[in-house]
Amino acid sequence: MANTEFPAIETSRLLLRPVEPGDAPAIYAYQSDAEIYRYMNTEPPASADAVAETIRQWLELRAEDRPPPWVIIFKETGRVAGRIGLDHLNREHSAGWLDYQLARELWGRGIATEAVRAVLGYGFGTLGLNRIGAYCWDGNAASQRVMEKAGMQYEGTLRQIRFAKGAYRDLRYYSMLAEEWRAGNA
């Protein structure tokens, strides 16, 4: 399984393509909304330069089974409106982890779910993974719902596993197995 170069993936409303250095201003534009980071450990990036540095690190990590994420392009506008990653790819266990975020102006239209389904399809169908996991902070109802709608199973909650933004946070874990993906896509 798994090389570290992802191809572009097209869905009915979206183009997912690997992030490029030139995406920094567009990513910063949506990430500078603090609401995006409400249920995340980190704060919004300080500047487009900070995003450019993150992209540079992603691109350099390519060789370590942490492929750079895709940007989510909403075809209707042609704009970069989010990102989705499939990383921590583990060859021995054929497993990987998903994470995603979307510009607030597009929330509630099923876009993240469409992107997650596409990446699950790529992970199981093309990379041959056996398991794809994801997690969110307890309370991140939108992210929970995305994982459920995409067909991922709730596995359990790790209580107060993380100290972030002044409090201990519970993390809810989800996953899908290849056999479940195949059953849903037969």
Q: Which residues bind ligand COA (CB under 6 A)?
A: 36, 39, 99-102, 107-113, 136, 140-143, 145-146
Measured from the CB of residue 37, what is the shortest distance to ligand COA in angstroms? 7
Measured from the CB of residue 27, what is the shortest distance to ligand COA in angstroms? 12
State the CB neighbour count (10 A cutoff) for residue 37.
16
171 token code pair: 């993390």
Q: Detail the DSSP E strand segments found in the chain.
A: 9-10, 14-18, 70-74, 79-90, 95-102, 131-137, 153-164, 167-177
Q: Which is nearer to ligand COA, 73 or 111 (CB)?
A: 111
Measured from the CB of residue 134, what is the shortest distance to ligand COA in angstroms? 7
Query: Do the beta carbons of residue 120 and residue 162 sit within 8 Å?
Result: no
Q: Which is nearer to ligand COA, 114 or 127 (CB)?
A: 114
Query: Do the beta carbons of residue 72 and residue 10 sit within 8 Å?
Result: no
Q: Which is nearer to ligand COA, 91 or 145 (CB)?
A: 145
Q: Which is nearer to ligand COA, 54 or 140 (CB)?
A: 140
